[in-house]
Structure formats: structure tokens, C-alpha cells
Amino acid sequence: MSHDLNNAPKTLSRRNVIAGLPAVGLAAGGLGTLLSMANSAAAQEAGQGEQTGVPKLPGKLSKVLHSLHDGNAYTLPPLPYAHDALEPVIDALTMELHHGKHHQGYVDGLNKAVERMGNEEDPTAMGGLARNLSFNYGGHVLHSLFWAVMGPGENGDMGGEPTGQLAEAIDKDLGGFDGFKTLWNATAGTVKGSGWVTLLFDPMAVRLHVAAIGDHDRHVLPGTVPLLPLDIWEHAYYLTYQNRRADYVKAFLEVIDWSVVNALYGMVSAPYRRG
Ligand code: MN3
């Protein structure tokens, strides 16, 4: 299906803005972000899913995407399952600290950076604040999505293999699930120090990539949309895996909720898929 700017709503009621953003934002190329996803989810819940081409979102994803900002400040989304739901792959204490302390720290840092940038009068301080904004914004986006792509799906299962349109795209773009796994493990292995490995949607080529991110914001491919981010900072795995990061990267495949990743793929790729 196709979307163009002529389909954008003519009036700016909140509902129309929400309905129009996914197509307009993604067509503009640079706004393939979680905000568009959240607004797509809101449009869908407002009964406009068909109109915007947005597939039905898993409840877990919807819950996280609607809890990223409360209108005044960025906020920590609830973990959409119990702390011990991912055991033994990811232990409960790691989840408790990672979500409640680390992610909360990025949310706080983001709010502080935004506030200080608005009040800062010393231009020499701006570089440091811009870096804080980028780092903490990336941290908030990536962690929020990270929680949503893990855990039991609506049928109670975790892991397994990609499904639906996503599976077809992985076959076409990455050499199937085996090709994906090889690329995933190898790309994760290239990260020096703190970072992420992620499956991305590229709206220019209408294809998937696997890429590495340094910290939360370095080497990001602008305009791409993260579909499956894996945190490979030491705080994400050290209590269970210590120095065996590669084992953690492999084990992560057992706690993925592919129905969420497939839904995200369907949502962000809908304006671009041909035929
Ligand atoms: Mn982390």
C-alpha cells in the first residue's frame, strides 16, 4: 500500500495528528523512531488501524510504547512481565537492577539534559549537554524496546523462530534464520566496550540490516528503525555470564518474543513495502 503527504490530515486535532504521523513521519525518512511507533499504536487503538495500515500490536508492546513520556517528562515504562520471567537466560536480580536502576537513570538523565539545555546560557556547556541528550535519549529508546521484545508472547511461549512477514524479510535480506544468527553473533562480537547489537529496518532500501551501536548512540544509522535491540553492556549480563558475553548473546535468542518483532516490522515497513 502507499502513503503520501496528501493523505495527511488537514486539521490538527490530537487524533488527526496521531493518525497522520506514522505515514508522514516515515515518508519524511528521518522520523522512523519509537515516537512514530507509539503514535501508530495510539491510532490503532483509536480504531484507525485499517486507515493507517497499522497491524494489531501485541499488548506488551502497546503498554511500553504508551509509557515513554507523560506529557511533561520522559517516564520509565513498566516491565511488561515479572523480573524472573526470563530465567534462567536472564536472572531476576539483573532485570530488577537493569530496569529499575539503569533505565531509570537514563530517563532521569534525559529529563535533566532537556531541562538544562533550555536554561543554559553558557554556550561552552552546550557540547556536553548535547552529548548527554543523545546518550540518554538513546538509552531510553533502546531499553524500552528491549523490554518489549523479550518475554512470553500471548501464547506463553518464548524463543523459537521468526514468524510472518518478518520471517520472509529475514529470508530475503539476511539469508534466513541461520544467516541472521551468524550475522547477529558476529556483529555483537565487534562491539568493544559498551553497546548494542540490533536488527534494523532500512526505509531507503526497504530491507533489514544487523548493526552494532556503541554506548546508546554511536554509529547509529540515521532514519533506520530498531526492531530487535540487545543490550550488551556488562550490566546486562555480568551476574550470570561474567566474561562469557558471547554465551549471553546466543542465549538471548531463547527469550525473544518474535510476535512483537514481527508486529514492529509490519508497522514500520507498511508504508514502504511494494506490491
Ligand atoms: Mn542497559
**Over the stretch 18-66, which tens digit does the pLDDT of each residue have?**
333 333 333 333 334 555 655 666 666 665 545 555 556 888 888 898 8
For ligand 1, the distance from its centroid to the CA atom of residue 191, given in whole angstroms, is 14
Mean pLDDT across the chain, nearest whole number? 85
For ligand 1, the distance from its centroid to the CA atom of residue 90, given in whole angstroms, is 13
Q: How high is the pLDDT of residue 58?
A: 86
Give CA–CA dist 152/256, Å, rounded.
Answer: 8
Query: Who wins on pLDDT, 38 or 76?
Result: 76
Give CA–CA dist 56/41, Å, rounded.
Answer: 8
For ligand 1, the distance from its centroid to the CA atom of residue 115, given in whole angstroms, is 23
For ligand 1, the distance from its centroid to the CA atom of residue 231, given in whole angstroms, is 6
SS3 58: coil
Give the pLDDT confidence of 81-137 residue by residue, as tens digits. 999 999 999 999 999 999 999 999 999 999 999 999 999 889 899 999 999 999 999
Query: Who wins on pLDDT, 254 or 28?
Result: 254
232 in Cβ contact with 247 (< 8 Å): no
Query: Of 25-29, 42-46, 225-229, 239-243, which range is least confident?
Result: 25-29
Give CA–CA dist 105/139, Å, rounded.
Answer: 9
pTM of the model: 0.84
